[in-house]
Amino acid sequence: MAQSFPKARVNQLIGEDFGQSLENVGFGIIDGLLGSDWTNGLRQEIKKLYDQGLLVPNKTYYEGRKDENGRFVYGYSVSKPNVHELDLSTIELQKRKELDIPHLNALYEDETIQKSINRAAPDFNITKLDIKIQYNAGEGGCFPMHFDTTTNVSKRRVTGTLYLNPDWIPEHGGQLRVYPFPYDIMDVDPLNDRLVLFSSHETLHRVMPSHAPARYCITLWYYVDQDSPQSLQIPRFSWLRQVEGIGFLLNPNTRKLLSKIVYDNHWRESVRQSFGEQKEEIEKILANHNKEVEHIKKQLSPEILDFLLQCVPLAHGEDFLKLARPIKGE
């Protein structure tokens, strides 16, 4: 039986400082969120479900579009070797109870994290949670660069990843790599009891190849009620907005397009690393990426394109690093 959910601990850590990080750099990091008893219980339950064969291969979906009924559909999907998952929202409540996973059920049902996020960053106004558990068997298992979703596709607004890896060392890899355009990349180590929360619409990210014997994490997807959630202008990078002309780079729609140019080599590498020996699928994905990059370049003036290629990404300054620093619990 799981201990009671550590509500006081969570409320203390997800506070005003965290809200400032989430709103201004697009993500926030908390260390020591739940405590070792809880992380041990969650990790053991994920391993049990994996051993029972309940987890399935993770897939990335491409060529999304709306069908004649207005539903969003994808053209095809590609599996990632060695990455296995289970979406708990697909399992009926009674079945989840029968699986004997008290820590996972409590994490799913308790609203403390959700309410704490809304207090710290009220503009997000999240109302619903889905949970997906993940087991990475190593051997380079990883994810390509992507945005989790868009306002046209999903009501999801905040994505969280809770890491459960007490023996992690740098040689294991598997870091979360964030691309906070117009800034340079930032790697976040998958340390035990570390929660990373970020904007589902605006945070470009990937998972680096994992070489650990096993890598455990839980993805938390937080949703809003509105039918058409609007962009929140996240990240705000408030200190940059004083610079003349910077609005072009910070516009949410512009950022997503320009990031494909600035991080082009990263994008290609992430695709090649994520899909193993599936050469035909990799070439198809890269061909579509190349076509999109060339189309974006043609829409830009030579001066802007030259500026992007020579001056962006920006180095992390003091303002950025202060807000990106983990908030530490006990």
Residue 303 has what pLDDT?
93
Q: Which tens digit of pLDDT belongs to each residue from 14-30?
A: 999 999 999 999 999 99
Tell me if 234 is assigned to some domain: no
Q: The pTM is what?
A: 0.95
pLDDT class of 52 with cuts at 50, 70, 90: very high
Bridging pattern class, strands 27-31 and 327-328: parallel
Domain around 21: 7-227+320-328
Look at 64-73, 135-144, 235-244 and tell me which has the smallest mean pLDDT: 64-73
Same domain, 36 and 114: yes
Q: Decide if 148 contacts 158 (C-beta within 8 A).
A: no
Angle between helix axes 112-120 and 16-25 (nearest 10 degrees) is 70
DSSP secondary structure string for all residues of 160-203 = EEEE--TT--GGGB-PEEEE-TTBPPEEE---TTEEEEEETTT-
What's the pLDDT band for 257 if we cut at 50, 70, 90? very high
Answer yes or no: do 169 and 196 share one domain.
Answer: yes
Residue 232 included in any domain? no
Which among 193, 188, 201, 24 has a CA at the least distance from the CA of 121? 24
Paired tokens of 234: 């996240």
Among the ranges given (61-75, 168-182, 271-285), the one the predictor scored with the smallest mean pLDDT: 61-75
The H-or-E segment that residue 47 falls in is helix 36-51
Let me know whether 305 and 324 are in one domain.
no
Helix, strand, coil: what percent of the chain each, to 5?
A: 40, 25, 35
- Domain assignment present for residue 143? The answer is yes
Query: Is 69 contained in some domain?
Result: yes
The percentage of residues in the chain with a pLDDT greater than 70, rounded to a whole number, is: 97
Query: How many structural domains is the chain composed of?
Result: 2
Question: Does 220 lie in the same domain as 286?
Answer: no
Give the pLDDT confidence score for residue 230 in this predicted structure.
Answer: 56
Whether residues 304 and 324 share a domain: the answer is no
